[in-house]
Amino acid sequence: MRFNGNRRFNSYVGYFRNKYGSRLQKIVVDAGFSCPNRDGSIATGGCTYCNNDAFHPSYSSPDKSIIQQLEEGIEFHKKRYRKAERYLAYFQPYSNTYSEVEHLQTLYREALSHPLVAGIVIGTRPDCIDQQKLELLANLSKEHVVIVEYGVESIYDTTLKRINRGHNFAAAKESIKKTAEAGIDQGAHFIFGLPGESKQQMLEYATEINKLPLNSVKFHQLQIVIGTQMEREFEKNPQEFVQWTIGEYIDFFIDFLELLKPNIFIERFAGEVPPRFIKSNPWGLARNVELINMLEKRLEERDTYQSRLFNA
């Protein structure tokens, strides 16, 4: 079976090209949000694996206006992604619906006022959404691309508690359901390799994801970032973590892909953290494009594809 771009998995990049006629490149925007598991509303300290500086581009800073961040981000990405003609303002750091609706509307509309911005992507938590916020996003989606990206991370409540998420999987399922009912495109983010989970338990993510009304999913392997609580936990109990070579992770992910329903788009299957933020990097300096090439080559070698073992 082949998907868009003649790939053996359903590519999110191909989806955007087919739907909008060109690549839409994300530009990270830091609007100065926090999270309820950081400010004491439900917990403090944030997620145990989280250090936002590890995936925070230099042009993105809350002391700059949204328009300034977009202008600098567009100049940065013009050199790296020359085929991009329009952009998506990606409200990424922390929880980007964690404020009053009026404030959110001001921020989102400022981003959408840029002539090269086709829409917004809102990274947030399942417990930071409500009906008013969904109505705002639904209204914006009538004229612009609007995508909500939920950080779910794991389907297991024991894991979510251990990593200090401050919400359970039921909250994620409920928010994803309500977002679909509001007619808003949405994706979810998951991490493979969180402490205490076996490879078999991770493969079972597919069963739960297949039940959800998601347009896309984004995965990455757990990377132990310097200065996090997870780093201290890993140093104390490394046996609690699945540690992958590149080849092992790619074969695991293919096993997972075979179980995943065919109409869900894969936005990312592995993550990159700048080398200065991790103590050891067993994968070397492999970039995302190289990892995708490795994945596609291995799919060919195994003569398999996304959904091969999916049973509707």
* pTM for this prediction: 0.94
Q: What is the mean pLDDT of residues 160-177?
A: 97
Q: What percent of the chain has pLDDT over 70?
A: 97
- Judge whether 253 and 305 are in contact, CB under 8 Å: no
Domain ranges of the chain: 4-302
For the domain made up of 4-302, give the CATH fold.
Answer: pyruvate-formate lyase- activating enzyme (3.80.30)
- Judge whether 190 and 205 are in contact, CB under 8 Å: yes
Burial of 145 (C-beta count, 10 Å sphere; 0-12/13-18/19+): buried
- Judge whether 187 and 179 are in contact, CB under 8 Å: no
Whole-number Å distance between alpha carbons of 64 and 205? 39
Task: Output the CA torsion sign for 60, 61, 67, 68.
Answer: negative
- Interval 1-36: pLDDT, tens: 888 778 999 998 777 777 777 778 899 999 999 999
Whole-number Å distance between alpha carbons of 225 and 239? 17
- Interval 75-95: pLDDT, tens: 888 776 666 778 999 999 999
Identify the helix (H) or strand (E) that includes residue 54: none
Whole-number Å distance between alpha carbons of 112 and 85? 15
Tell me the H-state helices in the chain. Answer: 12-20, 66-80, 101-112, 131-140, 157-162, 169-181, 199-203, 205-210, 229-236, 246-259, 288-302
| pLDDT range class, residue 206, cuts 50, 70, 90 | very high
Q: What percent of the chain has pLDDT over 90?
A: 75
SS (H, E, C) 142-194: CCCEEEEEEEEECCCHHHHHHCCCCCCHHHHHHHHHHHHHCCCEEEEEEEECC
Spacing of C-alpha 257 from chain mean position: 17
- Judge whether 96 and 124 are in contact, CB under 8 Å: yes
Range of weakest confidence among 2-6, 132-136, 167-171, 256-260: 2-6
- Interval 225-260: pLDDT, tens: 998 999 999 999 999 999 899 999 999 999 999 999
